[in-house]
Amino acid sequence: MLYRRNPQLNKNGELVHLLSIEGLPASILRQVLDTAESFVSVNDREVKKVPLLRGRSVFNLFFENSTRTRTTFEIAAKRLSADVINLDIARSSASKGESLLDTIANLSAMAADIFVVRHGESGAPYLIAKHVAPHVHVINAGDGRHSHPTQGLLDMFTIRHYKKDFSNLTVAIVGDVLHSRVARSDIHGLTTLGAAEVRVVGPKTLVPADLAQMGVRVCHNLKEGIRDCDVIITLRLQNERMSGALLPSAQEYFMSYGLTREMLQLAKPDAIVMHPGPINRGVEIASDVVDGTQSVILPQVTFGIAVRMAVMSLVAGNEAN
């Protein structure tokens, strides 16, 4: 196989695209987290805007709908004084329409600086990054089942905020790991930043054994999986999974894998509970846990804006060369 440089880094090893946490050195991850630290304070000022991306254009290219994620990126971009253009490119199989690369080429002709891309196919942002003009930066807002790097980074930021040091931490990721790009990004982030132990928990149909090769411990029993954990990340269970051949029902899932108050007691007393959202109350997590004292789900959202500001300002300041 021919050697291929990580397409996210330029020749000086600086971040020019954010496509996946996998393959990024810990120093880059820490740089993002440290930069995000500064941006958290921007949200507390009277004037919640800094001029770093003034005159730059951020195009939100969402091939898969998501108002939440798109809104977060839009807020982040506007706080950096960038101009934001939203493009909802509905992907219907009935009408193929313009090819993906033609879309990108046309948009590049409109002087975009940053593309924030969400796509239903794993790997799509890599294709886009290969074909954009040199000065354009691509940020992956979620591709298929593969990666959701900004979510992974904001999860790491959240954990660092509450727990400080990764090297003593046991983290459990509970739910449909097989289909989750958030889980993959979290796993890469945690292993790169040196978490002591990462466990993935769920039924065999949703948590396959070969996940162990990513450096995690596979558990099919919730009690065993969250015992003495410092952090519990619960994943959203999608409706499609519940009626398919993967799971019989939401009720059955909740019985075996739902995070309830009783289950939470098996973790460390100061364990934090996280969720990427949107939450299915009573399916993957009980309502009283969502609203309980150990939940940091709302701070995750706030941190998400700062982290996205950090990513955008970092890539925009680095040249592709």
Partner 1 sequence: MSTGSTADDLAAHAAERVRDLPALLQALVRGVGALRRPTSQLVGIATGGAWLAERLQAELALPGEHGVLSSAMHRDDFAQRGLSAREPTRLGFDVNGAHIIVIDDVLYTGRTIRAVVNELYDYGRPASVTLAVLIDRNGRELPIQADFAAARVELPANNMVALRRDAAGVLSVVIEKRPS
Partner 2 sequence: MKILIKGGRVIDPASGLDQVCDLAVAAGRIVSIGAAPSDFHANKTIHAVDCVVAPGLVDLAVRLREPGHEHAHMLQSEMAAAVAGGVASLVCPPDTDPVLDEPGLVEMLRFRSEKLHQCRVFPLGALTRGLRGEVLTEMVSLTQAGCIGFGQADVPLPTLHMLSRALQYASTFGYTVWLHPQDRDLGSGVVASGPLATRMGLSGVPVVAETIAIFSIVELMRAAGARVHLCRISSAAGLELVRKAKAEGLPLTCDVSIHSLHLIDTDIGYFDSRSHLRPPLRQQRDRDAIRRALADGTIDALVSDHSPVDEDQKTLPFAESEAGASAVELLLGMALKWAEDGGVELRRALQVLTSAPADIMTGGLDAVRCGAGRLTVGGLADVCVYDPNAEWMINADTLRSQGKHTPFSGYAMRSKVRCTIVGGYLAFEA
Confirm or reject binding of residue 275 to partner 2 (CB under 8 A): no
SS3 of residue 232 by DSSP: strand
Applying CB under 8 A, among 6, 10, 23, 35 the residue interacting with partner 1 is 35
Applying CB under 8 A, among 10, 23, 42, 144 the residue interacting with partner 1 is 42
Applying CB under 8 A, among 145, 199, 241, 268 the residue interacting with partner 2 is 145
Q: Which residues pair with 61 in a beta bridge?
A: 87, 117
Residue entry with tokens 């097989």: 178
Considering the complex, what minimum distance in angstroms separates the CB of residue 253 from partner 2? 21
Residues 70-129 that bind partner 1 (CB under 8 A): none
Q: Which stretch binds partner 1 (CB under 8 A): 44-52, 225-233, 265-273, 291-299?
A: 44-52
- Hey, what long-range contacts does 222-227 have (CB within 8 A, 24 or more apart)? 222/174, 222/256, 222/257, 222/259, 222/263, 223/263, 223/266, 225/172, 225/174, 225/199, 225/200, 225/201, 226/172, 226/174, 226/199, 226/201, 226/259, 226/263, 226/264, 226/266, 226/267, 227/266, 227/267
Confirm or reject binding of residue 22 to partner 2 (CB under 8 A): yes
| Helix H or strand E segment including 309 | helix 297-316
Residue 134 phi, psi dihedral angles, 5° rounding: -55, -30
**Binding partner selected for residue 240 from partner 2, partner 1, none, CB under the kind-specific 5 to 8 Å limit:** none
Residues 177-216 that bind partner 2 (CB under 8 A): 178, 181, 184, 208, 210-211, 213-214
Answer for the pair 131, 109: CB distance below 8 angstroms, yes or no: no
Q: Degrees (nearest 5) of the Cα angle 183, 72, 282?
A: 50
User: Closer to partner 2 at the Cβ: 112 or 129?
Assistant: 129
Considering the complex, what minimum distance in angstroms separates the CB of residue 41 from partner 2? 35
The CA distance from 37 to 302, in Å, is 12
Mode of pairing for the β-strands spanning 272-274 and 231-234 = parallel
Residues 300-319 that bind partner 1 (CB under 8 A): 313-314, 317-318
Confirm or reject binding of residue 143 to partner 2 (CB under 8 A): yes
The CA distance from 15 to 28, in Å, is 7
Phi-psi region of 308 (alpha: psi -120 to 50; beta: other; left: phi over 0): alpha
Residue 191 phi, psi dihedral angles, 5° rounding: -70, -35
Give the pair of three-digit tokens for residue 91: 């992907």
- Quick note: the x/- pattern for partner 2 over 157-176, rule CB under 8 A, is --------------------
User: Closer to partner 1 at the Cβ: 14 or 121?
Assistant: 14
Applying CB under 8 A, among 140, 147, 234, 313 the residue interacting with partner 2 is 147
User: Closer to partner 2 at the Cβ: 83 or 121?
Assistant: 121
Applying CB under 8 A, among 112, 124, 136, 311 the residue interacting with partner 2 is 124
Confirm or reject binding of residue 46 to partner 1 (CB under 8 A): yes
Kindly state the number of chain residues that form the binding site for partner 2, as judged by CB under 8 A.
29
Confirm or reject binding of residue 14 to partner 1 (CB under 8 A): yes
Give the pair of three-digit tokens for residue 170: 């046991």
Residue entry with tokens 């020019």: 16
**Binding partner selected for residue 262 from partner 1, partner 2, none, CB under the kind-specific 5 to 8 Å limit:** none
User: Closer to partner 1 at the Cβ: 16 or 222?
Assistant: 16
Q: Which residues bind partner 2 (CB under 8 A)?
A: 1-2, 4, 7, 22, 99-101, 119, 121-124, 126-127, 131, 143-147, 178, 181, 184, 208, 210-211, 213-214
